[in-house]
């Protein structure tokens, strides 16, 4: 996991300078880099396409932007940070006094050294984001304002990576690819999703895993609209965001609150004894709110560290490469792998010898425990599995009721299944 953490951090470093938005070449460049790690199926959806109650917007691209003083010095420069331009700014080329320009400037007075991240996706306008201390240092006078951008019919871009499973039922893992230079809110989630997919590809999973790399909100809505006929295959799901900061892990439950993914994450986090918080669902946050909307009502939760808008650096230039760490991303990845191992192995069984306790010794099941330091625990796991294998209780039910580790319960179930005492 240490090596994976370093590799994820290196991926975040590569993606950090790119200017992403909900459409445009920055998204494509991001997916090209992710495509070096995973084979991706990239989808281009034309402007104007009706997607549920929305329509795919015009595509936005930007080449340069700056505010320059009368001496030609760029006092605000898009080349220095993609955060400096209001996302989706229409093109502008003008000279105006500072008094007029102020109406197009966005700062954070409470954090004067930070640059805010702001957008205007669906209201045509333009603007710049800068540090309050930079604005305070600007003298009155004329300034040249230039934004070399285009807002025109084009496409919305998203990508999928699918890992075939033993069954067609799917687990969807989603992350958003629409934010510019924000290391935690965006890039850490992309990195964890990428390396989670690589890890699962080395296994033979029970479920089919579908990884979705899409712009927030409109991307998930577009995917749901284009896949409405097969959404019923999605049995479980997880949205990854804010996956690389030093805060405790936070799992936000699905709208249902009792979906299997909710139970699995609660169990895994509690069993790991990591500092964590389980939050109730709210219809605000990331794309779990799209997957959990009442018409779909999918069992999709969200895993993050410090959650949405829960840290001062959120949506500011302080969410930079120093704000995330390889260790935090590796820990998030480890929890995802632990959770999906439980989800993938969780089954219901029927006891084929339900009248009284079957003789385990005659079947060599006790002998197989000889010399094990946890022999007593393993024996109890077998008895618990036999007791609760009534077709109604899953292995996770058995683990929770017995207080035994899920892995121990799963091993016991395998042994009992091999001896012909239970069937799935």
DSSP string, 72-100: --EEEETTT-GGGB-BTPPPEEEEEEHHH
Other beta carbons within 10 angstroms of residue 386's beta carbon come to 23
Look at residues 83, 264, 241 and name the one whose alpha carbon lies nearest to residue 176.
241
Q: Give the pair of three-digit tokens for residue 281.
A: 């669902």
DSSP state of 253: P
For residue 3, give every residue at least 6 positions away whose Cβ sits within 8 Å of its Cβ, in sequence order, or none.
none
DSSP state of 113: T
Phi, psi of 114 (to 5 degrees): -100, 150
Other beta carbons within 10 angstroms of residue 127's beta carbon come to 22
Q: Are 21 and 14 in contact (CB under 8 A)?
A: no
Residue 322 annotated as part of some ligand binding site: no
Q: Give the pair of three-digit tokens for residue 131.
A: 């540090």
Q: Give the pair of three-digit tokens for residue 14.
A: 């590569």
H or E stretch at 340: helix 326-345
In terms of Cβ atoms closer than 10 Å to its own Cβ (0-12, 13-18, 19+), residue 103 is exposed
Query: How far is residue 279's CA from residue 277's CA, in Å, rounded to a whole number?
Result: 6
Look at residues 205, 222, 168, 183 and name the one whose alpha carbon lies nearest to residue 329.
183
Residue 236 annotated as part of some ligand binding site: no
Q: Are 12 and 191 in contact (CB under 8 A)?
A: yes
Residue 367 annotated as part of some ligand binding site: no
Query: How far is residue 216's CA from residue 181's CA, in Å, rounded to a whole number?
Result: 15
Known binding-site residue numbers for Zn(2+): 179, 185, 315
Known binding-site residue numbers: 179, 185, 315
């Amino acid at each position: 996991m240490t090596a994976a953490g370093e590799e994820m951090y290196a991926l975040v470093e590569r993606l950090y300078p790119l200017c992403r938005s909900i459409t445009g070449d920055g998204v494509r460049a991001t997916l090209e880099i992710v495509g070096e790690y995973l084979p991706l199926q990239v989808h281009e959806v034309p402007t104007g396409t009706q997607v549920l109650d929305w329509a795919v917007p015009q595509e936005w691209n930007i080449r340069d932007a700056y505010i320059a003083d009368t001496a030609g010095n760029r006092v605000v420069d898009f080349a220095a940070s993609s955060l400096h331009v209001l996302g989706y700014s229409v093109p502008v080329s003008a000279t105006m006094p500072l008094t007029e320009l102020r109406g197009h400037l966005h700062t954070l007075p409470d954090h004067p050294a930070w640059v805010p991240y702001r957008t205007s996706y669906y209201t045509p306008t333009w603007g710049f984001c800068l540090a309050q201390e930079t604005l305070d240092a600007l003298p009155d006078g004329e300034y040249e304002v230039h934004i070399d951008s285009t807002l025109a019919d084009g496409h919305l871009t998203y990508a999928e990576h699918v890992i075939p499973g033993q069954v067609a039922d799917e687990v969807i893992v989603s992350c958003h690819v629409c934010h510019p230079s924000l290391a935690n809110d965006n890039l850490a989630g992309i990195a964890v999703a990428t390396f989670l997919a690589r890890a699962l590809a080395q296994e033979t999973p029970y479920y089919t895993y579908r990884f979705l790399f899409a712009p927030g909100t409109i991307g998930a809505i577009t995917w749901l609209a284009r896949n409405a006929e097969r959404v019923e295959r999605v049995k479980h799901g997880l949205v990854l965001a804010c996956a690389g900061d030093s805060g405790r892990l936070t799992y936000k439950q699905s709208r249902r609150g009792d979906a299997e993914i909710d139970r699995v994450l609660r169990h895994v986090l509690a069993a790991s004894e990591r500092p964590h918080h389980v939050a109730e669902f709210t219809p605000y946050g990331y794309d779990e709110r799209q997957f959990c909307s009442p018409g779909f009502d999918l069992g999709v939760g969200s895993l993050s560290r410090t959650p949405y808008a829960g840290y001062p650096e959120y949506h500011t230039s302080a969410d930079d490469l120093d704000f995330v760490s390889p260790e935090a991303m590796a820990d998030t990845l480890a929890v995802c792998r632990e959770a999906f191992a439980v989800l993938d192995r969780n089954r219901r069984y029927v006891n084929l010898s339900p009248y009284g306790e079957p003789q385990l010794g005659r079947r060599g099941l006790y002998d197989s425990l000889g010399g094990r330091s946890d022999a007593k625990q393993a024996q109890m796991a077998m008895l618990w599995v036999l007791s609760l294998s009534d077709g109604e209780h899953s292995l996770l039910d058995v683990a929770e009721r017995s207080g035994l580790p899920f892995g121990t319960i799963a091993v016991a179930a395998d042994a009992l299944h091999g001896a012909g005492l239970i069937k799935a």
